[in-house]
């Protein structure tokens, strides 16, 4: 019991002292479908390693929807701004896309996600 309290206090202290500005927890729901490494493994979505600055539909190992393939053919690149709009409402941006994840209305959450995706 007492040990648990000490461990909790230590965890809280180390968390506060960490110089990591990104809230990595924001990415947890995405992890079911996306990896942040070049190898996506068996995930149902494309890997997102270095996605900011990458062409839309840029994981060569992933079979994208016609909507995202058309965006890539159009020369679209994932800037932070484009990604912010996509996360806020993917369907409005690229109608017919296949990402089965609800729009993220919270600007704070989207900023945290961009932080994680930017690798910062
Ligand atoms: C249920 C599975 C699922 C979840 C959860 C999910 N995604 Fe996706 N995501 C996909 C799929 C599938 C695609 C490809 C869509 C297409 O081809 O139209 C995609 C595409 C993307 C792309 C474009 C990738 C590229 O290479 O162009 C980004 C960025 C992205 N998702 C970010 C996120 C983030 C951030 C989250 C968490 C908030 C998230 N996704 C949650 C399945 C998911």
Q: What tokens were used for 75?
A: 């020369």
Residue having the nearest C-alpha atom to atom 2 of ligand 1: 33
Q: Which domain holds residue 55?
A: 23-117
pLDDT the model gives residue 70: 98
Tell me the three state secondary structure of residue 55. strand
Q: What tokens were used for 49?
A: 């390693």
Is 18 among the domain residues? no
pTM of the full structure? 0.86
Residue 68 CB less than 6 A away from ligand 1:
yes
Total tally of structural domains belonging to the chain: 1
CATH number at residue 72: 1.10.760.10
Residue 97 CB less than 6 A away from ligand 1:
yes
Which atom of ligand 1 is the closest one to the Cα of 67?
18
Is 17 among the domain residues? no
Is 8 among the domain residues? no
Which atom of ligand 1 is the closest one to the Cα of 109?
38
Task: Please give the full DSSP string across 15-52, using - where no structure is assigned.
Answer: HHH----S-GGGGGGGGGT--SSS--TT-SS---TT-T
> Which mean pLDDT values do the consecutive 10-residue runs of the chain (120 residues) have?
53 49 92 90 92 97 97 98 97 96 96 87
């Amino acid at each position: 019991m007492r040990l648990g309290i000490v461990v909790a206090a230590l965890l809280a202290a180390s968390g506060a002292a960490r110089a990591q500005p990104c809230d990595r927890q924001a990415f947890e729901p995405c992890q079911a479908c996306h990896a942040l490494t070049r190898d996506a493994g068996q995930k149902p979505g494309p890997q997102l390693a270095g996605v900011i600055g990458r062409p839309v539909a840029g994981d060569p190992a992933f079979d994208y929807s016609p909507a995202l393939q058309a965006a890539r053919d159009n020369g679209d690149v994932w800037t932070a701004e484009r990604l912010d709009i996509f996360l806020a409402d993917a369907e409005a941006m690229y109608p017919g896309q296949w990402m089965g994840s609800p729009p993220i209305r919270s600007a704070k959450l989207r900023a945290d996600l961009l932080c994680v995706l930017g690798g910062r």
